[in-house]
Amino acid sequence: MLQLSDVSEVPMKISNFLQRFFPAPKPVERRESERSALSLPIQILAQEEAWEATMVEMSDKGARIHLREELEPGQSLRIQFRPGEIRLAAHCRWARRAGRGWLAGLQFDS
């Protein structure tokens, strides 16, 4: 006979059974290109403003940066690697708070 104290154990046993025979699917990797971790000082140029930032990850399609200012998703900008030198056009895909600053995902414009 099933007792009330046994009821709480039933869902756990079913859960273990399901996990054993039907493991959770592995997350799908959405990235199309390999990323490299780095710590590269850059400048972000947006309209009439320039902000210091650090590029922390880069691929052939985009980059992840850390900066003090908030970027807006969809915002167009330029990444400058050295004053007066290489500039890449990009736009912000996402931004989220990270400690005292912000992390932002940038997609390079083609």
What is the DSSP-derived secondary structure letter of residue 63? E
What is the DSSP-derived secondary structure letter of residue 60? S
* Domain containing residue 91: 36-108
CATH of the domain at 73: 2.40.10.220
Q: Mean pLDDT over residues 29-56, rounded?
A: 87
CA distance 19 to 16: 5
Structure-token pair, residue 94: 């996402």
Q: Is residue 64 part of a domain?
A: yes
Count of structural domains, the chain: 1
Q: Mean pLDDT over residues 79-108, rounded?
A: 93
Q: Is residue 1 part of a domain?
A: no
Full-model pTM: 0.68
Largest alpha-carbon pair distance within the chain? 81
Q: Mean pLDDT over residues 90-98, rounded?
A: 97
Given this model, what pLDDT does residue 110 score?
80
Q: Is residue 24 part of a domain?
A: no
Q: Is residue 80 part of a domain?
A: yes
Q: Is residue 57 part of a domain?
A: yes
Using pLDDT thresholds of 50, 70 and 90, give the confidence band for residue 3.
low
Whether 34 has a pLDDT exceeding 60, the answer reads: yes
Q: What stretches of 1-110 adopt beta strand conformation (E)?
A: 36-46, 49-58, 62-67, 76-80, 87-98, 101-108
